[in-house]
Amino acid sequence: MSAQRATPRHGGGGVQAPAGAARPVPADTALPRAARVLLALVLLAVFGGLALAVLALAQPAPGLAAAVAGRIDDSGVSHPVTAVLLNFRGYDTLLELVVLVLALVGTWSVGRARGCAGNAPGPLLRQLPRLLAPLMVLVAGYLLWAGAHAPGGAFQAGSLLGGVGILLCLSGQPLPGWAQALVLRLAVVLGVAVFAALGAAAALLPGGAPLDWPPAQAKTLILTIELAAMLSIGVVLAALFAGGRP
């Protein structure tokens, strides 16, 4: 992985050197030896206690698998994980997508990316993306569609798209001009925006609640949300790899 480091905004000359650098750890931050041994023992005791608690857990555990299976016909999809993520506990998924957007806004606020155009790829990296990128996009589309009835869905598909972005960046492809600024930002928020807008609209239906998909339209709505979420997840992951705002 190429070392892309965001530079702090205001010089930042005093930032601590990364681990393994020549500069020694300043004396005031290093704990005395006895304290370190004590800390290790305390942590070991905590770990031991946790291990005992986990080993004492009841088997089999009570769970919600049966409840999910009982209502899956109303969810619009037939795979239990997708049903939980996009229907039963869709609100969790919405907030998790917000976490991704937030991570990107936070990263952009710290510094600029060096940009992908500066990467000088070897012969392998020059050719590989030509073969892999179209295939990965195809697989992402398949995973998204398959998520309704088999393992898959927006997060897996989005990760693949993110991988495409990383591959293109490593091979020195800059972002095309039209994909800068507003279009890039739109792609980042698209997943949350579509999810939240549909979720709020569902509350306006008679007898509806936020994120309450009517069973007849549930499949269409879930696919729409997943499509938007996949694009956003892919773009956010690739942009996080770039390490700063463009």
- Which of 125, 141, 212, 219 contacts other proteins by CB under 8 A? 212
Cβ proximity to other proteins, 68 vs 128, nearer residue: 68
At residue 112, the 3 state secondary structure works out as strand
Q: For Cα atoms 9, 13, 172, give the angle at the middle one, nearest 5 degrees.
A: 55
Residue 183 touches other proteins, criterion: CB under 8 A: no
Near other proteins by CB under 8 A, which window of 117-125, 139-147, 165-173, 192-200?
192-200
The residues in 75-114 that bind other proteins, with binding defined as CB under 8 A, are 87-92, 95-96, 98-99, 101-103, 105-106, 108-110
Report residue 89 as tokens: 């506990």
Q: Which has the closest alpha carbon to 219: 143, 114, 123, 149? A: 149
- Which of 119, 121, 170, 185 contacts other proteins by CB under 8 A? 185
Residue 50 touches other proteins, criterion: CB under 8 A: yes
Beta bridge partners, 112, equal: 245
What's the chain's Rg over C-alpha atoms?
A: 23
Work out how close the CB of 52 gets to other proteins at its nearest, in angstroms, rounded to a whole number.
Answer: 7
Work out how close the CB of 187 gets to other proteins at its nearest, in angstroms, rounded to a whole number.
Answer: 11
- Which of 48, 49, 118, 151 contacts other proteins by CB under 8 A? 49
Distances in Å between the alpha carbon of 76 and those of 66, 81, 90, 93, 149? 17, 12, 13, 17, 10
Residue 67 touches other proteins, criterion: CB under 8 A: yes
What's the rounded Cα separation, in Å, for the pair 75 and 83?
6
Near other proteins by CB under 8 A, which window of 37-45, 62-70, 153-161, 163-171?
62-70
In terms of phi and psi (left: phi > 0; alpha: psi -120 to 50; beta: otherwise), the region of 181 is left
Q: Which has the closest alpha carbon to 144: 80, 207, 228? A: 228
Beta bridge partners, 245, equal: 112
- Which of 58, 120, 131, 216 contacts other proteins by CB under 8 A? 58
Residue 118 touches other proteins, criterion: CB under 8 A: no
Contacts to other proteins by CB under 8 A: 8-16, 49-50, 52-54, 56-58, 61-64, 67-68, 71, 87-92, 95-96, 98-99, 101-103, 105-106, 108-110, 182, 185-186, 188-189, 192-193, 196, 199-200, 203, 208-213
